[in-house]
Amino acid sequence: MEIRALQAKATQIRMDLLQMIAQAQTGHTGGSLSNTDILTALYYRIMNIDPARPKAADRDRFVLSKGHSVESLWSILADRGFFPKEELATFSRFGTKLIGHPNNKVPGIEMNTGALGHGLAVAVGMALAAKKDSAAYRTYCLMGDGEQAEGSVWEAAMAGAHYKLDNLIGIIDRNRLQISGTTEDVMGLDPLEDKWTAFGWHVVSIDGNDMQALVETFEAVPAHRGKPTLVMANTVKGKGVSFAENVPHWHHHVPNQAELEKALAELAAAFENYEQKGQVR
């Protein structure tokens, strides 16, 4: 997909996930909206994946370490054909596979996540396995910024640098908000880029809601041979819905009918704008 088509696709995914959350009456809305552009760039442009062969040995691996923001991932996997889109209507219902965190019974999911701080360690293992097998696949791991308070993240960061895993790409959804307030009030993280640099990673800081910047950054990996890459994706929590952006309450807020209709109208207008400018397919 070209950039304009990716932007339109991300807008469509935001509409899908909002309707899914509203129907289920549960979900992590703000973080799913903030990470949608990142996931769209990866799943529609960057990663080597095949919905018809979800366990292919040469597939790129993706780990959603911030597993609570799974709604955008479910929407994308359904849209890509990993499972029927109709199953999104079962989100969080009794007996569904589409629970509130990634579930590896679903095609396209590499590991169960949700306990924050665990995803990067497993991603390090996946990347190390590829090195030992002389395999070409890459491993991508999306973390939350509040998750950086977990000590296991930094143990994994040390290991990634120690083993020179330049086939490993860590991404931080740096929206600066978590359920109990701003990240800097809950547990100060800055200067976060400097910390990852000190741990031996090649750090790139970008606007994580800028599709052009995301694509250019991911396509340049590995920008530094012998080092894992950390993409500091500075995002807006609640991105795409004007009245939800940068509002802590929307971390776990379920839109009511009036909010849903207003949000969908805003996103539909954005989608039409991308469509009118062409390149949407």
Domain annotation covers residue 223 = yes
pLDDT at 223: 86
Domain annotation covers residue 175 = yes
Which domain CATH number covers 51? 3.40.50.970
Domain annotation covers residue 281 = no
What range defines the domain where residue 210 resides? Answer: 3-276
pLDDT at 275: 78
The number of distinct structural domains making up the chain is 1
pLDDT at 278: 60
**CA-closest candidate to residue 176, choices 235, 223, 119, 226:** 235
Confidence of residue 89 (pLDDT cuts 50, 70, 90): very high
User: Residue range 43-60: average pLDDT?
Assistant: 98
Tell me the per-residue pLDDT of 145-194, one tens digit each, with 9 for 90 and over: 999 999 999 999 999 999 999 999 999 999 999 988 899 999 999 999 99
CB 170 within 8 A of CB 120: yes
Say if residue 279's pLDDT is above 60. no
178 phi/psi in degrees, rounded to 5: -135, 180
Domain annotation covers residue 50 = yes
Q: What's the gap between Cα 108 and its chain centre? A: 14
- pLDDT: is 277 or 256 the higher one? 256
Say if residue 280's pLDDT is above 80. no
